[in-house]
Every structure is written in C-alpha cells, then in structure tokens.
Chain A
Amino acid sequence: MAESLQTRCASALQCYDRRDKLMLMKRFLLALALGLSACGDESFFASISAGSAPNQCSRGDARSTITSVEISESDAYGDTQRPFTAIESGSTVRIVRGLQGADMLVLSIRVNGLSAPACLVHRTDITDATGARVTTVAQPIMFSPTGGVATNERMFFPGEFRSGTFTITATVAGVSVTRTVQAVRS
C-alpha cells in the first residue's frame, strides 16, 4: 500500500495536495449544485429553516433518565473527524460560512445517562450579547446511546452571526446546559 502511494505520489506533500484538491473539488461541486438551487427561492427556505438537526424524530419524550447535556463544536462538511470537546463558558467557537452563503454555528449535542435509544424533546436557542435571539432549533432528536452516552453530530444553526459573545442554551428532555461563548469567523 505504501508502495502504491509512493507510486502515485512523488512525495507525502504531493499526496496531501492531491487529497486537498479532491476535497476542494468536492466542495466546489457541492457549491455548484447548491448554487443552482439559488433559482429555487433561497430566501424562502432561509426563512422557514429552523436549522437542521440530523436524526430528527417525531413525538419526542419530554422525560428521560439523562443526567447531563453537553455541547461541542462540530465539523461543517463532515470531512474530518472532530473529537467531541465539551464547550465551556468562555470557549471560542467558529462562525462558519455555509455553502449557501449563510453564517452558522455547527454544533454537536451529547447526552449522558441514556440507557436505550429514545426520541427526546430538544430545543437549542442561541442569543447574542443583548439577549436577542439569533437562531433556534426545536426538533425532537433520536439519541442512540453507547455505554449511556449518545451524541447527535453536525447540527446547523444558521443566523446573523458576527464575531462576539453568544449564549447557547440546549435543552434535552428537560435537562439544560447554557454556555456563553466567543464566536469568531473561521
């Protein structure tokens, strides 16, 4: 395998460049496809979007055995494996410019103490330094635990983000976590 790579890439740096180009190409094609959808009334969907959370479900359970909720930054494009690192107050998070031109935070939510897969009521509010709401995602999420821990990755929170202080409050099945963070453009 190493020999094969060596054959295709004269150096490790060249291999890295090739992977980078492929990634850029992938993003370009995705942007092109999404750009075409700009003939699809983008502002309407921006207006009805409550952000997006993978693993949505219906009839969320409002009561559960979970003991705590944590928030982490997540990767916007899914092309790297970002480890879950719980955000603490004072942490810095990145403002990501999405492929459709909207600014957003990309977060993961982890719940602890869950013994079995469950569809749980979830709501995340993000407010700015004045207390004005920037964005909200309020959708039940299916959490599937492993060893009592379940993580829902890559939740998109589009909004009018500018570098500064924001407060994130995530509530899952009645258990909340609130963090005040500094958001900066990536």
Chain B
Amino acid sequence: MTRAIVLGGALVMLSLAPSPARAQAPQAEPPPSPTRVVGFGTTLGISIEGTSRSPSTPYVTAIGPAFEMRVPVHRRVELALWVPVINLLLIPAVSNRRMVWGDLFATIYPTASATGFFVAPGLGFAYGWADSSGYALRAPVRVGWEVSTAGRGFGFNIALRPWVDLVVPLANIEASVRYGAVLELGVIGYATR
C-alpha cells in the first residue's frame, strides 16, 4: 500500500514536471490585433495658402470638420477619401460661390501597423463656380503621427499637409499655381474584425 502511494506520487510529480520538449517550445504568439475593415472620421485644420496670381497675399483658411473615410488595403496602407463638407456647405451660405472638393490619399505606415509615423501622398480635385469658374488639380501630401487605441478601433492623428494645386480658370485667363500647408488634427473610428 505504502509502495503504491509512493509510486502514484512519483507519477504525479513526473506528469507535472515540464518535459524537455515542452521546455524548449517557443512562447506562443499573442493573438493578432483586430483587422480594420473601414473607418470614418473627421479632421480639423488651419491652412495658410497663397497663389501665384497674388503672391504677396497670404490666405488663412479654417478647414473642418471635414469628412474622412478610410479603407485599409494592407495592415500598413490605408486609402483615405477626404472631403471638407462643412466648408463646402458654408461657402454658398455666405456667398454666391459653389464648390466641390475632395482629396484621395494612400496613407502608408512604414514603421508599424497603422500607427506611429505615416506619410500619405495624395491626389485631389476641386471645382468652383461663382462669377467665374475653374478647377484645380491638387497634389497634397500628409505627413504625421497616429496613435491607435489597443483594439485598433480608433486612431488619432496630427499631420502637416503641404499641397500644391494647378488652378485652371474656365475664363480667358491663364492657369496659376496655388500652394499652402494645413496643420490638422484627425480622429477616425474603425469597424474591426
């Protein structure tokens, strides 16, 4: 009886002791963070800009809240559609002007998965009309820093957006160049899976 108890205890101890194979197994990887599916958010910005038609006149423009939609195409790349809806609604409310304007960005996170430093080259288009009409082909670039929540459900970013436009009036006057930079704060909420 005593011998059986000792043998049983030894078996229990043996079963609890780590096997050599188990001791050498690599640590299990943490579960992957959620994948972002689509994001919607807004940005607020302040822009200082000028135009080659009147280079000595700086223009300061408040931008936002603007609408932004993001579609991740990779864990480190997101496509972003940005439209300054409030500005576009305010313009005809206070003047006889009308405008449509949108920028499309490819937001690239070179160092981490949708967080940290990012650079976002973009293309944009604007069309406006009042007494005269014209359109602009836009080339903006966002450079900034993003912080994501643990579950990747929200991203907060601060960015500087230098940009240059080729403005083509539809009147009998020459095209001109517009340029500027926007300092902007953004928050994006994501659907994840």
Contacts and interface: CB of A to CB of B under 8 A. Distances in A.
A38 interface: yes
Interface in A18-51: 33-34, 36-50
Interface string A40-65: 11111111111011001000000000
B54 interface: yes
Nearest to B176: A47
Interface in A83-131: 101-102, 123
B90 interface: yes
A48 B90 CA distance: 19
Interface stretch (B9-17, B45-53, B154-162): B45-53
Interface residues of A, number: 29
B2 interface: no
Given A38-B59, A42-B59, A44-B126, A160 B54 contact: yes
Contact of A40 (B87, B167, B169, B180): B87
B185 interface: no
Given A34-B95, A138-B171, A46 B90 contact: no
Interface in B156-193: 165, 167, 169-173, 176, 178, 180
A136 interface: yes
Given A44-B126, A138-B172, A139-B171, A38 B54 contact: no
Given A44-B167, A47-B167, A136-B173, A37 B95 contact: yes
A99 to B, nearest CB: 11
Contact of A41 (B55, B61, B176): B61
B132 A50 contact: yes
Contacts of A49: 130-132, 169
B62 interface: yes
Given A38-B61, A39-B90, A136-B173, A45 B56 contact: no
Contacts of B101: 41
B57 A37 contact: no
Contact of A48 (B54, B55, B63, B167): B167
Contacts of A123: 172
A139 B173 CA distance: 11
Contacts of B167: 44, 47-48
Please name the 5 residue pairs, one residue from A and one from B, whose CB atoms are nearest each other, closest first: A48-B134, A40-B91, A50-B171, A138-B172, A47-B167
19 contacts: A37-B91, A38-B60, A38-B61, A40-B94, A41-B128, A44-B134, A44-B178, A45-B130, A46-B59, A47-B165, A47-B167, A48-B128, A48-B134, A48-B167, A48-B170, A53-B131, A56-B131, A136-B173, A159-B54
Given A39-B62, A123-B172, 14 more contacts: A40-B95, A43-B49, A43-B51, A44-B136, A44-B165, A44-B167, A46-B54, A46-B59, A48-B132, A48-B167, A48-B169, A48-B171, A160-B55, A160-B56
